[in-house]
Amino acid sequence: RFAQQGYFSPVFDRRHDLSIVAMYKISRRLSLNATFVYGSGDLRWLPTGRFTFSDVDGREFEPVVPDYEQRNNFRLPPYHRLDAGAVWRFFPKWGESDLTLSVINVYDRRNTFFLYLEPEFRDVGTDQNPIQFPERIAAKQVSLFPILPSITWNFKF
C-alpha cells in the first residue's frame, strides 16, 4: 500500500516463469540440447503525463516534470528465448576433448533489458531564432544479447 494510492502490484510481480530443457544423446560422440525460457513481463513505474512550471508572467520554464499517476502502471512485454547447442566428443590418446557449438537466442528476440525516457522535440522557432519545444516523452527500449553463436573447445588430459 502506498500513501493516497491504494494497493499496487510489486515491481517483481512476474506471474509466469517457465524453463524447458531438452537433451538428446544421439551417439557416444554426439549430443544435442535446447532450452526455452519464458517469463511474463516485469512491472515498471512510467509517467502518464508531464507538466511544466510557469512564472508570474505565464512563461513556462524548464524542467518538464513527469507526472506519475500510479505505481507500477506498465508491464513490459514477456521475456522469452530459445537456446540450442550440439556437443561433439573426441577421445584422443592423451585424454578427452569436446567441441561445443551453441546459439543463444536462436530466433533473435529483442527482450527488454530496461527502459529509459527521452523527450521528442518539435521546432517552434524561426530560422534566426531556433527553439525546440519538448512535444512528448517517449519510453525507449534497450535490449541485450541478440542472436549469439559460440564455439567452445574443452579438453582434459
Q: pTM here?
A: 0.74
Cell, residue 30: 554426439
Residue type, 134: P
- What are the residue boundaries of the structural domains of the chain, listed by start? 17-156
pLDDT tens digits along 102-154: 999 999 999 999 888 888 888 877 778 777 777 777 889 999 989 999 999 99
Burial (CB count <10 Å: 0-12, 13-18, 19+), residue 146: exposed
Q: Give the C-alpha separation, 69 to 73, whole Å.
A: 8
Which positions ≥6 away from 27 have C-beta within 8 Å?
none
50-103 confidence digits (pLDDT tens):
777 777 776 666 666 777 777 788 888 999 999 999 999 999 889 899 999 999
